[in-house]
Amino acid sequence: MITMAILFVAILLLNVIPAFAPPTWMAMSWIGFNQPAEDPLLLAVVAASAATIGRLILARCSTWLVRGHLMREADRQNLDEVKLWLEKKKAITAGALLLYAFSPFPSNYLFIAYGLTGLRLWVIGVPFFCGRLASYAVWTHFAQVAHSYLDPELDLDGGYLGAYFVVSQLAFLCLVFALARVDWSYALTNHKLRFKRDTPRENART
């Protein structure tokens, strides 16, 4: 029980951090390799629950802090166009998130971007939990199987803050910023991408 509580808190904290946190699948692989006797499904349930709660907290913080206090009114109105479109495509949104959650790719920027729209969180929370539950169970099981064939003293602590990881995290965060600058009314109507230009009145306010 103590092990599960520690796992829950650790995974929760990893998923609240907005950027540069170690990937959860890597943590689950490490746990599976070092805890070969634990039930991989139980580990996955605890981890997926913690990861989902952590990501939803991150999305809610994005809504409250960035959208509610740091974002300009013009940018909020711009993102409302995405909000209205996504509200009509809930099934597609949930399905896409489910497929993405099966992958080992980072999800922090997705929840930050989703939080900027102010949409209800259950739309992405439920499919994210289901996808992560399956992927974490797989990663943990494979790591436990690897424990039977590899040296238990093998050092699996990788330098996750390599150049690729740092550059990718910075790129994803820049992408989130860029999404707020896309003219979504024009993009959704004309299916062409262009960035929103500040009007003289908006420039005068900044």
DSSP character for 196? Answer: P
DSSP character for 195? Answer: B
Angstrom distance (rounded) from CA 26 to CA 11: 11
Cα angle 157-160-166, degrees, rounded to a multiple of 5: 170
Comparing 170 with 48, the larger pLDDT belongs to 48
Q: Given pLDDT bands bounded at 50, 70 and 90, which one contains residue 189?
A: confident
**Greatest distance between any 2 Cα atoms in the chain:** 66
58: Cβ contacts below 8 Å, ≥ 6 apart: 15, 16, 17, 18, 108, 111, 112, 115
pLDDT in tens, 115-145: 888 888 888 999 999 999 999 999 898 888 8
CB–CB of 187/85 below 8 Å?
no
Percent of the chain residues topping a pLDDT of 90: 24
pLDDT of 34 above 70:
yes
How high is the mean pLDDT of the chain? Answer: 83
pLDDT in tens, 143-188: 888 877 765 555 555 555 566 566 767 777 787 878 778 888 888 8
Angstrom distance (rounded) from CA 144 to CA 31: 9
DSSP codes, 99-122: HHHTSSS--HHHHHHHHHHT--TH
Residue closest to 131 by CA, chosen among 204, 24, 13, 21: 24
Residue closest to 152 by CA, chosen among 41, 32, 44: 32
pLDDT of 76 above 90:
no
pLDDT of 8 above 90:
yes
pTM, to two decimals: 0.78
pLDDT of 47 above 90:
yes
